[in-house]
């Protein structure tokens, strides 16, 4: 056999021969030559290593015992066709974008890891236009002079929130940082101990205070802070009273917080500005938002500066939106940090496109995906889940891979059902809020504990495959729980159901 292995090594094509083989022609036409050569070289190196590996094993086992010769697998691995296929796959994977579309079947609508909000089609059109051509980003067509990038959305924001002035920066973390730098540098900011929150890894209120150059003055306790606590802490160095929305957690039980109305009147009576880091910043008033404070409420309470995210409950692009009284907003626009955290034109275009939809609240809920998803009824999500189950069943039945079809089928791999779930708004908004939703639930047939039926994949294996789906399939991110895979429809568009069914049926049977 060793001889045969040596012979196999000798018949391997050269890099140049393989690169010029007919099997590589389409790849050569599609990819830059250096990449093709590199992929071909790697395929050949791996083939050589596989042959030598078999050779070494052979020697280790005493060699020559099996006169039948080289395993068929190895033989098929080193044919020119197989080598070319290897190289082409390598090229295809390398050409695949890293930032890729996925289907969000997690049941978390504003999923930070999956890009938070997806844009309304009107917003997408604006982005494409801003990206493809020169624009009026900082230019006034009427007078032919320089303008400000803040102008494009300032009127819309003041109109929608009732505030005097507005500006937009890169994200809400930047908005809070800029606010502290412009309004409280080297001075004291009073915050309730119940609001010293961490919003995901690197954004912690005490840290952001330090970076913003402000001195944090904590008042009250974790569960109770009263107006008198703020009053007692106000001194000559107080620059700001700050309320922070405890976005991602809730303290329940024996609690007391000072509302923004009371805090704002205290600030007004002492001549100290009051700021509100609202986090999610809802402009729409959906029933499901419940007690989530809206931007308008905060502004009408007389708050001087209100900061919130563009891509949480607003349903727009990543952005930090600041609305409030002109003197403070102007101070922020003039601050040197403003340039470092400024918003880019594509974001502005998307934000303008999104905000314009809010002029008609019904339109906003209909056209902005985040709002549309959160506003779905129990019945609507049930309908979507049943539709998805049916399409999935159809695809699996073609191959006989569910248990309740074709009773004679030997491969009873999975069962499908539709179950009610509680989806999440997510994105640090409404931590306890569950939105009624439904999921298609996939279990491995006839076996508890998520174990695979002989020959079939386990729930964990199917979940892994869903994430690894390659084009033209889209990866599906789903939730594993209670020995089952939950494919939640809360954050899926109707038009995505077929795509989900394609990937899931592939994952179950591949």
Ligand X SMILES: *Cc1c(COP(=O)(O)O)cnc(C)c1O
- Asked if 320 is part of the footprint of ligand X (rule: CB under 6 A), the reply reads yes
Question: Shortest Cβ distance from residue 320 to ligand X (Å)?
Answer: 6
| Interface with ligand X in residues 46-65 (CB under 6 A) | none
Give the end-to-end CA distance of the chain in Å, rounded to a whole number: 34
The DSSP output letter for 143 is T
Q: Which stretch binds ligand X (CB under 6 A): 41-49, 180-188, 222-230, 273-281?
A: 273-281
- Asked if 293 is part of the footprint of ligand X (rule: CB under 6 A), the reply reads no
- Asked if 428 is part of the footprint of ligand X (rule: CB under 6 A), the reply reads yes
Which residue lies nearer to ligand X by CB, 244 or 497? 244
- Asked if 303 is part of the footprint of ligand X (rule: CB under 6 A), the reply reads no
Q: Are 111 and 427 in contact (CB under 8 A)?
A: yes
- Asked if 342 is part of the footprint of ligand X (rule: CB under 6 A), the reply reads no
Question: Shortest Cβ distance from residue 310 to ligand X (Å)?
Answer: 7
Angle (CA) 359 360 366, round 5°: 125
Q: Which of 178, 182, 199, 418 binds ligand X (CB under 6 A)?
A: 199
- Asked if 309 is part of the footprint of ligand X (rule: CB under 6 A), the reply reads yes
- Cα–Cα distance measured from residue 314 to residue 325, given in angstroms and rounded to the nearest whole number: 21
Q: Which of 276, 277, 297, 496 binds ligand X (CB under 6 A)?
A: 277
The token pair that represents 311 in the structure block: 């891509």
The token pair that represents 473 in the structure block: 């399939």
Tokens 């189950």 sit on residue: 389
**Coarse DSSP helix, strand, coil percentages of the chain, rounded to the nearest 5 percent:** 45, 20, 35
74-81 CB contacts, 8 Å cutoff, 24+ apart: 74/8, 74/50, 75/8, 77/47, 77/50, 78/8, 78/11, 78/12, 78/47, 78/50, 78/51, 80/13, 80/18, 80/21, 80/23, 81/23
Q: Which stretch binds ligand X (CB under 6 A): 23-31, 138-146, 167-175, 409-417?
A: 167-175
Question: Shortest Cβ distance from residue 312 to ligand X (Å)?
Answer: 6
- Asked if 245 is part of the footprint of ligand X (rule: CB under 6 A), the reply reads yes
Q: Of 383, 449, 106, which is closest to residue 391 (Cα–Cα)?
A: 383
- Asked if 357 is part of the footprint of ligand X (rule: CB under 6 A), the reply reads no
Tokens 């990038």 sit on residue: 149
Which residue lies nearer to ligand X by CB, 240 or 244? 244
Which residue lies nearer to ligand X by CB, 169 or 484? 169
- Residue span 452-491 as binding mask against ligand X, x where in contact by CB under 6 A, dash where not: ----------------------------------------
The token pair that represents 131 in the structure block: 């990206």
- Asked if 344 is part of the footprint of ligand X (rule: CB under 6 A), the reply reads no
Residues touching ligand X, count (CB under 6 A): 15
- Cα–Cα distance measured from residue 135 to residue 132, given in angstroms and rounded to the nearest whole number: 9
Q: Give the up-direction half-sphere exposure of residue 136: CA atoms within 13 A in the CB hemisphere.
A: 12
- Asked if 179 is part of the footprint of ligand X (rule: CB under 6 A), the reply reads no
Which residue lies nearer to ligand X by CB, 303 or 309? 309
Give residues in contact with ligand X (CB under 6 A).
Answer: 171-173, 176, 199, 203, 244-245, 247, 277, 279-280, 309, 320, 428
């Amino acid at each position: 056999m060793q001889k045969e292995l040596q012979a196999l090594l000798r018949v391997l094509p050269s890099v140049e021969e393989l690169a010029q083989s007919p099997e590589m022609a389409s790849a050569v036409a599609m990819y830059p030559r250096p990449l093709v050569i590199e992929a071909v070289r790697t395929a050949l190196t791996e083939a050589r290593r596989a042959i030598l590996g078999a050779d070494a094993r052979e020697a280790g086992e005493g060699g020559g015992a099996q006169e039948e010769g080289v395993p068929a697998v190895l033989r098929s691995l080193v044919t020119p066709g197989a080598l070319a296929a290897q190289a082409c796959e390598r090229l295809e994977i390398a050409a695949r974008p890293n930032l890729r579309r996925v289907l969000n079947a997690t049941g978390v609508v504003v999923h930070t890891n999956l890009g938070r909000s997806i844009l309304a089609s009107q917003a997408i059109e604006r982005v494409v236009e801003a990206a493809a051509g020169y624009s009026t980003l900082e230019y006034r067509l009427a007078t032919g002079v320089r303008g400000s990038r803040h102008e494009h959305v300032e009127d819309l924001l003041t109109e929608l929130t009732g505030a005097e002035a507005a500006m937009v920066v890169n994200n809400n973390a930047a908005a809070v940082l800029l606010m502290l730098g412009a309004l409280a540098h080297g001075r004291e900011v009073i915050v309730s101990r119940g609001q010293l929150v961490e919003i995901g890894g690197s954004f912690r209120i005490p840290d952001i205070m330090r970076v913003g150059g402000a001195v944090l003055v904590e008042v009250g306790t974790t569960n109770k802070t009263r107006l008198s606590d703020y009053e007692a802490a106000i001194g000559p160095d107080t620059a700001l009273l700050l309320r922070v929305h405890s976005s991602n957690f809730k303290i329940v039980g024996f609690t007391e917080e000072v509302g923004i109305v009371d805090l704002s009147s205290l600030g007004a009576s002492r001549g100290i500005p009051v700021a509100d880091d609202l986090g999610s910043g809802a402009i729409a008033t959906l029933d499901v938002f419940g007690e989530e404070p809206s931007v308008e409420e905060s502004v009408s309470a007389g708050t001087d500066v209100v900061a919130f995210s563009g891509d949480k409950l607003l349903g727009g692009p990543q952005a930090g939106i600041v609305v409030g009284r002109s003197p403070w907003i102007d101070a922020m626009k003039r601050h040197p940090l403003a340039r470092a955290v400024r918003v880019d034109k594509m974001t502005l275009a998307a934000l303008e496109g999104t905000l314009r939809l809010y002029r008609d609240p019904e339109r906003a809920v209909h056209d902005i995906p985040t709002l549309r998803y959160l506003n779905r009824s129990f019945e609507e999500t049930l309908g979507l889940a049943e539709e998805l189950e049916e399409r999935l069943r159809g695809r699996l039945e073609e191959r006989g891979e569910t248990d309740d079809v074709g009773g004679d089928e030997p491969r009873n791999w999975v069962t499908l059902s539709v179950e009610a779930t509680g989806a999440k708004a997510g994105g640090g908004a409404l931590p306890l809020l569950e939105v009624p939703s439904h999921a298609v639930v996939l279990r491995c047939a006839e076996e508890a504990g998520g174990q695979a039926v002989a020959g079939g994949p386990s729930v964990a294996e199917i979940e892994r495959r869903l994430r690894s789906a390659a084009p033209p399939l889209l990866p599906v991110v789903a939730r594993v729980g209670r020995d089952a895979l939950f494919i939640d429809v809360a954050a899926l568009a109707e038009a995505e159901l077929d795509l989900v069914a394609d990937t899931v049926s592939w994952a179950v049977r591949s």
